[in-house]
Amino acid sequence: MKDDEAAVIDLINGIMDSEFHDAKHAYPIEDVECIEKAYGGIGEAFFVAVENPSHKVVGTVAVKKEDSRVALLRRLFVAPAHRNLKIGKRLIDRALEFCRDVGYDEIVFKTTSRMSGAIDLCRKNGFTQRAHIVLGPIELIKLSLGLRGDVYAGKERA
């Protein structure tokens, strides 16, 4: 992972500069400048998607512990040239699998309405909108997905 940090920073900064330049100040990058420190706690993880055979980082997703019950889905990014290839879905699937293994009850994704691709991807993966707050020109969106019912339903069928 340490080897990928520079590539992760380049990917996220590149997307922020080209697609969300006017909102970049709202998304400080300090957490990805030291991924191990920011996402290395118990119940936390940072996943990268890499292109084979070049080993180029083409996507990211992170899980941050909010509390013993709730995880935050963060840093969901896929390189523009690699979108619509199910990379984002696989990243979310991996994050959800991790959260279920850890025992979280719920996962929450908070973002601005400008990140419509990430919002759509979360909705396609079962997240529902829990809040929509307008702060002047910025719209904050909170999506969540309950994990316990999914886990127990799967076990009951087994």
For residue 99, the domain's CATH number is 3.40.630.30
Q: Tell me the pLDDT tens digit for each residue of 2-41.
A: 678 899 999 999 999 999 877 777 778 889 989 999 999 9
Chain-centre distance for alpha carbon 73: 4
In which domain, by residue range, is 148 found? 2-157
Residue in this structure with the two tokens 């886990």, named with its chain if needed? 151
> How far, CA to CA in Å, does 34 sit from each of 7, 8, 17, 31, 98?
13, 11, 20, 6, 21
Total number of domains constituting the chain: 1
Question: Would the pLDDT of 156 be above 60?
Answer: no
Peptide bond into 28 cis (omega under 30): no
Q: Tell me the pLDDT tens digit for each residue of 89-139.
A: 999 999 999 999 999 999 999 998 889 999 999 999 999 999 999 988 888
Paired with 108 in beta bridges are: 72, 144
Q: Tell me the pLDDT tens digit for each residue of 38-55.
A: 999 999 999 999 998 888
